[in-house]
Every structure is written in C-alpha cells, then in structure tokens.
Amino acid sequence: MRPLSGRAGVPGDKSISHRALMLSALAVGESVVEGLLEGEDVLATAAAMRAMGATIERGADGRWTIHGVGVGGLLQPDQALDMGNSGTSTRLLMGLVASHPITATFIGDASLSKRPMNRVIAPLSEMGAEINASPGGRLPLMLRGLCPAVPIEYCLPVASAQVKSAVLLAGLNTPGVTRVIEPVPTRDHSERMLRGFGAELTVEEDGDGARVISIRGEAELTPQHIVVPGDPSSAAFPTVAALIVPGSEIVIGNVGLNPTRAGVYDVLRMMGADIEFVDRREVGGEPVADLRVRASTLRGIEVPPDIAPSMIDEFPILFVAAALAEGRTITRGLEELRVKESDRLAVMATGLRAIGARVEEAEEGLVIDGTGGAPLAGGATIATHLDHRIAMSFAVAGLAATDAVTIDDMTPVQTSFPVFTELMRGLGAELR
Ligand code: S3P
C-alpha cells in the first residue's frame, strides 16, 4: 500500500451542472458556464436541451455558452430524449416539459429503466401533464405537457431534491404560485440558482419546521455567468482513499461544501478523520474550500439518520471507510439507497463481504464491523450494476486490500467523474 500524496482538483458539481444548463437554456440571451462537469449525465441534459431548441456550445477554453429559448419557449423534440444513466436529467426535465405544450418520450439505460418515476409522475399529473409510463411507473415513458399548467401545493412524500426540483421547474412556466413543502431538507441548488437567474422564489419555515418553497411562474430568467464548484460527492472518493491508506496526505482543491451536500465530511470527522477545510470562500454562490486530508485511525459510529439527505450519494464510500474503522458503524434510514443507480445497500453489502469485510444488511441500512485499520482481504471481482459510485467505492477499497480488487466494469464512472482513474493515479494510487 503506497501512501497517497499531492494535490488534485475534482471536476464540477454534477447537480449544479445540470441546473446551470437547464436554466441557461430557459433564459433569454447568452449565459456562460465555467467548470461544467463534462460527464455523460450532464451531456445527456445538454443534448436534451438542444433537442428542445437551446443552442449549447463548448468553447476551446472549456467554457460553455448557452443561448436560451425563454421560459415557455421549449420546442417539441423530434426524437426520444435519451437520458442514459441519469435520474437527475430525467426527473428535472420531466418537470420542465410538464408545463410546456410539447410531448416528449424519455428513454434510458438498463439501470435508469428500473428506477421509480411515480414520485414525479404524481405531482406533475396534478399539474395537468399526461404521462404514459412503462409498468411500475418506469422508463420508457411519454409525457405530454399542459400549457398553461395548474399551480399546486405539494408536500414531498420522500426526501428528494429531484422531485422538489421537478415541481419547481414545472412551476417556472405555470401561472400563479407553485409551492413545495419539504419536511426534510434536501440539496438546495435549484432554489439558489432559480433565484440567481431572477425567478421570484421564497423559502420559509412552517410551524412544523418544514421548508416551504414558493415560486411565481411565468418568470423571465436573465442570463448568467456561472462558475461551478468542484463536486463534493466526487471529492469523497480520494478523501476516503487518503484516510484509509496509511501515511497518506493529500489536498483536494475547490470542493463545494453547501451544507445540504457536505454531510459526509461531518460524519467522517465524527469518526476521527483528519480533514481540514483550508481557504474557505464562495464560488458561484456556493461555499467552497480546499480539503487537506491525512490518513487517520477511524472509529465506528452510529450515523445520525437525519444527516442522510445531506450525504445520500456518499454512503457507498462511507461504508468502505467503516469497513476499515475500529468497531461498529450503524446506519439507518437509508431505504432511498435501494432505488439509486443500483440497490446500493445490497450491492455494497455483497461486494464488501466478498473482499473480507464484516457486514450485516438490514432493510434500511448496513451494520459494519471494521478491521481497525488492518487491510481487507480483497481478491474478488465486484459487479458494479451500471453504478458509478459502486465502481469508485470498490476501486478505493482495493487500495486498502491485501489482494487486488477487480471491478467488472469501470465505464459507469464516465457519468459523473470521467477523470477518476487519472486523478487517483496522479495521487499515487495503483489502479490498473
Ligand atoms: C440529485 C438528488 C439526489 C441524488 C442525485 C442528484 C439532484 O437524488 O441522489 O445523485 O441533483 O437533485 P434524489 O432526489 O432521488 O434523492
């Protein structure tokens, strides 16, 4: 196990990149986006917005220029919108189409075609969209928007930023005020960016502590210059790698630390991780810092379930950290992990066991008894099930294993973190 060292910067935030393209495509005039994540998921959003009329170009300097069509101006796409592996593209774009007078067919890969869409079909149908989905409320589906749509007040039955955003984006072209009530806070990039583009959006707390988000529709959006911060979800992989490989010390520059996203760093620190936030600043209206990470003796903890929404994508890599910690880590309240790109509770439990970790799988979480820092056995091949975060989590686990860990398919990493392998190698990781 060679220690990791050096400095790296992670690519742009995936959630913010999707939203930057969508809102730029709805503004009147030219927006510029710097630091856009050029991963397959975001490129699927770009292709869909182009198919509905926006002009989107990448300059030689890596900046993206977008000429929007104006709210209400989306055009009928000629072909099915191929969402690839991207749940965020699918659900947010369904929201946009729902209040435009167009019909669109959404298709995706095998993983996306298994994921539940009823969570967006329900509120968007209330707003007047007509949706014909495959059995079980899955892709492929056809959505016929209604214009003008009907404003609704919708209380989220699942903690999902995608559902929240779908309703808010549908509300953008709906007369009157559309309201989403969010009992458990989720990532707030849509709210921040909608405001940044000039939409009339307010966030209040009701008597029960729920967030009430109201958007006034038929908005006019003003083009923006957006700088996308580095993705904290991507940064979590080299972070955990440096924590679990003895002797490591690395710096990851420009990591977004929006409080609705950064829960994994709080939890790792609760476990004893040496993570320093250096040079805290703001980039594109989001808090950012450089992370200095040193190898640490981690201790198992009971992860407070209310932190889950702020680190929902980071559980796979947290489970790897837990597998090398001293003592027991208990996680609960994670039923949403079963409907991500794969069933992340089942796939992580199976894979971790195969490389020698002690893991019990419960309905809503994993219980992991760590090695106390001793390497895992390794020596197994992991099935990634078209899930980028499974691939990267086990690549990191392999760095702290005696025998090599083989990943059956690294191509899913292209969806969110195309430079993962080069970046890890640059820090000294032995990935073949
Ligand atoms: C996302 C929201 C989350 C997250 C996904 C990105 C977003 O999904 O898992 O990777 O950009 O809004 P849910 O809304 O399903 O929790």
The CATH number that applies at residue 158 is 3.65.10.10
Q: Are residues 207 and 258 in the same domain?
A: no
Q: Are residues 21 and 165 in the same domain?
A: yes
Does some domain include residue 4? no
Q: Which residue has the tokens 């890596």?
A: 62
92 Cα nearest atom in ligand 1: 12
pLDDT of residue 285: 83
Give me the catalytic one of 13, 109, 290, 313. 313
Q: Whose CA is nearest to atom 13 of ligand 1?
A: 160
Does some domain include residue 303? yes
Q: Are residues 387 and 252 in the same domain?
A: yes
19 Cα nearest atom in ligand 1: 11
Q: Are residues 396 and 344 in the same domain?
A: yes
SS3 138: strand
Does some domain include residue 310? yes
Structure-token pair, residue 224: 């923006």
Supply the DSSP string of 112-159, one letter for each residue: GGGS--HHHHHHHHHTT-EEEEETTTEEEEEEE--SS----EEE-SS-
Mean pLDDT within 342-364: 98
* Confidence band, pLDDT 50/70/90 cuts, at residue 273: very high
Q: Are residues 135 and 218 in the same domain?
A: yes
In sequence order, the 6+-apart residues with CB closer than 8 A to the CB of 395 are 237, 405, 407, 410, 420, 421, 424, 431
For the chain, what is the domain count?
2
Does some domain include residue 1? no
Q: From the CA of 89, how far away is ligand 1's center (Å)? A: 10
pLDDT exceeds 90 at position 329: yes
Look at residues 224, 245, 270 and tell me which one is the last residue of a structural domain: 224
Does some domain include residue 7? no
Mean pLDDT within 374-399: 98
pLDDT of residue 94: 99
Does some domain include residue 24? yes
**Integer angstrom CA distances of residue 36 from 203, 266, 411:** 27, 26, 20
Does some domain include residue 254? yes
In sequence order, the 6+-apart residues with CB closer than 8 A to the CB of 422 are none
Ligand 1 contacts (CB < 6 A) are 15, 88, 160-162, 165, 187, 312-313, 336
pLDDT exceeds 90 at position 74: yes
pLDDT exceeds 90 at position 1: no
**Residues spanned by the domain of 177:** 14-224
pLDDT of residue 426: 98
Residue 282: CB atoms within 10 A of its CB come to: 10
Look at residues 189, 224, 259 and tell me which one is the last residue of a structural domain: 224
Q: From the CA of 285, how far away is ligand 1's center (Å)? A: 20
Q: Are residues 220 and 233 in the same domain?
A: no
Mean pLDDT within 327-346: 98
Q: Are residues 122 and 106 in the same domain?
A: yes
Q: Whose CA is nearest to atom 16 of ligand 1?
A: 160
* Confidence band, pLDDT 50/70/90 cuts, at residue 223: very high
Residue 313 known to be catalytic:
yes
- Could you tell me where the DSSP H helices lie in 219-342? 232-244, 263-270, 315-323
Q: Are residues 269 and 416 in the same domain?
A: yes
pLDDT of residue 27: 98
- Could you give the percent of the chain with pLDDT greater than 90? 99
162 Cα nearest atom in ligand 1: 14
Q: Are residues 332 and 414 in the same domain?
A: yes
Q: From the CA of 375, how far away is ligand 1's center (Å)? A: 32
Q: Are residues 122 and 239 in the same domain?
A: no
Pick from 351, 418, 424, 398: nearest CA to 85: 418
Mean pLDDT within 328-342: 98
Q: What are phi and psi of 201, to 5 degrees?
A: -135, 130
Q: From the CA of 133, how far away is ligand 1's center (Å)? A: 21
pLDDT of residue 284: 81
CB 103 within 8 A of CB 140: no
Q: Whose CA is nearest to atom 10 of ligand 1?
A: 313
pLDDT of residue 152: 98
* Confidence band, pLDDT 50/70/90 cuts, at residue 321: very high
Does some domain include residue 431? no
Look at residues 197, 224, 251 and tell me which one is the last residue of a structural domain: 224
Q: Are residues 248 and 295 in the same domain?
A: yes
pTM, entire model:
0.98
Q: From the CA of 88, how far away is ligand 1's center (Å)? A: 6
What are 15-51's pLDDT values in tens digits?
A: 999 999 999 999 999 999 999 999 999 999 999 999 9
Structure-token pair, residue 387: 């899930």
Q: What are phi and psi of 192, to 5 degrees?
A: -60, -45
pLDDT of residue 55: 98
Mean pLDDT within 206-216: 96
* Mean confidence (pLDDT) of the chain: 98
Q: Are residues 167 and 44 in the same domain?
A: yes
